[in-house]
Amino acid sequence: MIGEPDTNTYPLMTAINQARSRTKLYGWIDPTVNFSTSAHSNSPEANDDYPNRLEMNQIVLYAERLPDSVQREHVDWGYHLTALFGTDYRFTIGKGYGSSQLLNDHHQYGFDPTLEYVDIYIPHVAQGMNVRIGRFISVPGIEAQLAPNNYIFSHSLLYAIDPFTDTGLMATVKLNDHWLVQAGITDGHDVAMWTPDAKPSGTACLSYTTTSVNDNFYVCANGINNGKYAYNNLQQYDATWYHRFSKTVHMATETWYMYERDVPALGGPIQPEAGANAAYCLPGEQRCTAPEYAVVNFLQKELSLHDFLSFRSDFLNDKKGQRTGYATRYSENTITWVHWIGSTVQIRPEVRFERAWDRKAYDDGRRQNQLTVASDLIFHF
């Protein structure tokens, strides 16, 4: 957020030096539990992929220094490092970043150095420009894989299959209080630069906020290249809309369209990459284009300073089954209550129902519907 001061304080830094340093160490521990009508797998639900169990989704440690983007006098810098351990590593891992623990060994628990980047703030470009270099969260979208960055514990189907992290350079320019632009070049989605799947890819985004600050519109073309089949080489076109109805009610809506070209046909002579599904191509096709589109809406009601309710509706059409393994339409509805205990403990119980409309796609193809009751508990430090 260009122009916003860093006012966050954390228990660990308060204990170390009364939070006087611009470099901060902080994080969280996120155990979870879920009860599901499925017995073998909750997929494509995320992040509670394993049904009917208690597990440790995330143990996360951040080290960061935010650049001072409030002032307009001098260039400033910052950095961010993330270490993540838990079952959620499968949703952040990038090919080449220790990915063999998932793609080859299929470990339930793993470690991922999810984010490593440097920020350079240049105040003399428009009303401020931030240049980010390294591995960072893929820019468009409402949700992120780091647990506290979400309204709800579980993720929408829309988010569960889109890009997670990119490696490269991203410039964010604040033109004025209404307009913000972003442009960057990366090596593609969820891959390291030293892998054969890496290829130069462009990202461009535009954000507009109304004078009332009741609405924000944000559109992105993300990771655009020739679109040929490679590990998570998704061509993504994304739009979000945030709307505030009142001081206590707001909503967030996102939609995207994605595709890959020349995806190997399921059961055909061309072997797909590890961790990258084949597609349900037409009979006789060895390769085909695999598109998918989705839309999600979050509606939030603040009940008090420590409580809010969130309702999510989600629709996904995985037309060739390349992202979920099943060519079908999905719907999902979730309601959650979020409660803060003091300022360090956050609990998010939820009830979620989802359906695959065209075929059995849940519980490893055994069920057409799935009901889960789940919660996480985030302890911030």
DSSP 314-340: EEEEETTSTTTSS-EEEEEEEEEEEEE
The residues pairing with 27 across neighbouring beta strands, listed in sequence order, are 61
Position 1 scores a pLDDT of 84
What are the pLDDT tens digits along the chain (381 aa)? 898 888 888 888 888 888 788 899 999 999 999 999 999 999 999 999 999 999 999 999 999 999 999 999 999 999 999 999 999 999 999 999 999 999 999 999 999 999 999 999 999 999 999 999 999 999 999 999 999 999 999 999 999 999 999 999 999 999 999 999 999 999 999 999 999 999 999 999 999 999 999 999 999 999 999 999 999 999 999 999 999 999 999 999 999 999 999 999 999 999 999 889 999 999 999 999 999 999 999 999 999 999 999 999 999 999 999 999 999 999 999 999 999 999 999 999 999 999 999 999 999 999 999 999 999 999 999
Q: Residue 17 belongs to what H/E stretch?
A: helix 11-17
Domains and CATH numbers, the chain: 11-380 (2.40.160.10)
Residue carrying the six token digits 């002579």: 269
Position 10 scores a pLDDT of 83
The residues pairing with 374 across neighbouring beta strands, listed in sequence order, are 34, 350
Instruction: Let me know: does 270 contact 301? Beta carbons within 8 Å.
Output: no
Q: Residue 130 belongs to what H/E stretch?
A: strand 129-137
Which of 299, 212, 319, 217 is CA-nearest to residue 258?
319
Q: Tell me the C-alpha distance between 74 and 252, whole Å.
A: 35
Q: Which amino acid is at 118?
A: V
